[in-house]
Amino acid sequence: MNNPTEKMRIFSGIQPSGILTLANYLCALKRFVELQDAGHECVYCVVDLHAMTVWQEPVALRNAIRHAAAAFLAAGIDPQRSILFNQSQVPAHAELAWILNCVARMGWMGRMTQFKEKAGKDRENASVGLFTYPSLMAADILVYHATHVPVGDDQKQHLELTRDIAIKFNHDYRLDFFPVIEPIIEGETTRIMSLRDGTRKMSKSDASDYSRINLTDTAEQIAKKIRRARSDPHPLPGSEFELTGRPEARNLLGIYALLANSSMESVLDRFGGKMFSQLKSELTELAVAVLEPISSEMKRLADDPTELDRILGSGAERATSVAEPVLQKTYDIVGLLQSRRP
Ligand code: AQP
């Protein structure tokens, strides 16, 4: 648990690789808002360059960038208090990523499970960007000298790699320049699983729309998806021990706990011995109540793309003013000549 009085500089991002999901909300956006509201200095980014590591149709990508920005705002990110922008508007990310590519080792990248999962069996055909994705992620964080990074559990390995890159850079150049970041992966449920398979993570790019709840889903769509969510034939478990080997039960109960801001223990107490149908009906009611204000605000914001672009542009200017001096100092440390830059 973090010390609430400690001043932290937070960085995190979300890829505009599709419509944001309930998992993005519960394990990322909701936490981002809590950290902002706790008074920390927060930099939040729509990581559009990361989304490009797999093919994106250009018009759809542009829409998805605005849609993701709308999701941040609708969830409660205040662009006055937090810096909110899209990554490609701040070139320092890609520039630092090149330097960090030269620090990171092939072996480190080769061990990344996200690359293995996304590249699948056809690894020869995966983009080089997908392979070097973690260096860009390290640059996103380190270019702000961020100290803490809130993410879902699926990003833990990439954050460990960010630490390794920072440590190696500091060691190679005999300086204490990049902070060794701390991940913020807190709570009892840090990974939300697919509604169709409790052993696979809920993902916005999953081929099946029934595997996830999108932040833009209507009440009817949410109800239908939860009704169809995979379950098992037994009554719901009443203790943490009984959850073993019941991934679908664990997932739905975990989602309920996060939406209700309650502990897993109290949710197990409430539903232990009951049928899945009861959990599904109460979960639907709760999910609709939490998501409805967010989706209607997203809809309202989406109707004004000029305002969204203005917010992202002004966030990018603020982000640049933090990132550029760090990049310049990095160029200086590694011995690059920058006579034309102020
Ligand atoms: N299923 C999940 N459970 C917990 N956290 C999750 N996050 C995403 N899915 C889950 C968290 O959301 C933040 C943004 O993730 P991202 O969109 O940048 O990348 P991702 O983790 O690869 O998410 P997706 O939905 O699976 O995207 P695609 O399908 O494009 O690969 C991160 O903090 C992540 O941990």
Q: The tokens 């992202």 sit on which residue?
A: 312
Backbone torsions φ then ψ of 326, nearest 5 degrees: -70, -40
Of 118, 156, 168, 280, the catalytic one is 118
What residue segments make up the domains of the chain, in order of their start?
9-180+305-334, 209-301
User: What average pLDDT does this structure show over 247-252?
Assistant: 97
- Three-state DSSP class for 210? helix
Type of residue at 232: D
Give CA–CA dist 99/330, Å, rounded.
Answer: 9
Query: Would residue 204 show up in a list of annotated catalytic residues for this protein?
Result: yes
Q: Residues 209-301: name the CATH superfamily.
A: Tyrosyl-Transfer RNA Synthetase (1.10.240.10)
Closest CA to 114 of 158, 55, 160, 165: 158
Give CA–CA dist 280/267, Å, rounded.
Answer: 13
Q: What value does the mean pLDDT of the chain take?
A: 96
- The model's confidence at residue 340, banded by pLDDT at 50, 70 and 90, is confident
| CA of residue 270 to ligand 1 center, whole Å | 29
Type of residue at 44: Y
pLDDT above 70: percentage of residues in the chain:
98
- The model's confidence at residue 342, banded by pLDDT at 50, 70 and 90, is low
On whether the CB atoms of residues 298 and 71 are closer than 8 A, the answer is yes
Mutate to test the pocket of ligand 1, among 155, 193, 212, 214 (most ligand atoms within 8 A of CB): 155
Q: What is the pTM of this model?
A: 0.95
Burial of 241 (0-12, 13-18, 19+ CB in 10 A): exposed
Q: What pLDDT, on the 0 to 100 scale, is given for residue 5? A: 57
Contacts of 327 (CB under 8 A, 6+ apart): 92, 95, 96, 143
Contacts of 23 (CB under 8 A, 6+ apart): 152, 191, 192, 201, 202, 203, 212
Give CA–CA dist 14/77, Å, rounded.
Answer: 13
pLDDT 10s digits, 208-228: 999 999 999 999 999 999 999
Which residue has its alpha carbon closest to ligand 1 atom 35?
152
Alpha-carbon radius of gyration of the chain: 21
Q: What is the largest CA-CA distance in the chain?
A: 71
Ramachandran bin of 130, using left for φ above 0, alpha for ψ from -120 to 50, beta for the remaining angles? alpha
| 2 pLDDT more than 60 | no
Cβ(202) – ligand 1 distance below 6 Å: yes
| Tokens encoding 272 | 């232990």
Which uninterrupted H or E stretch holds 162?
A: helix 156-172
Give CA–CA dist 260/264, Å, rounded.
Answer: 10
Q: What CATH architecture applies to the domain 9-180+305-334?
A: 3-Layer(aba) Sandwich (3.40)
Which uninterrupted H or E stretch holds 184?
A: strand 182-184
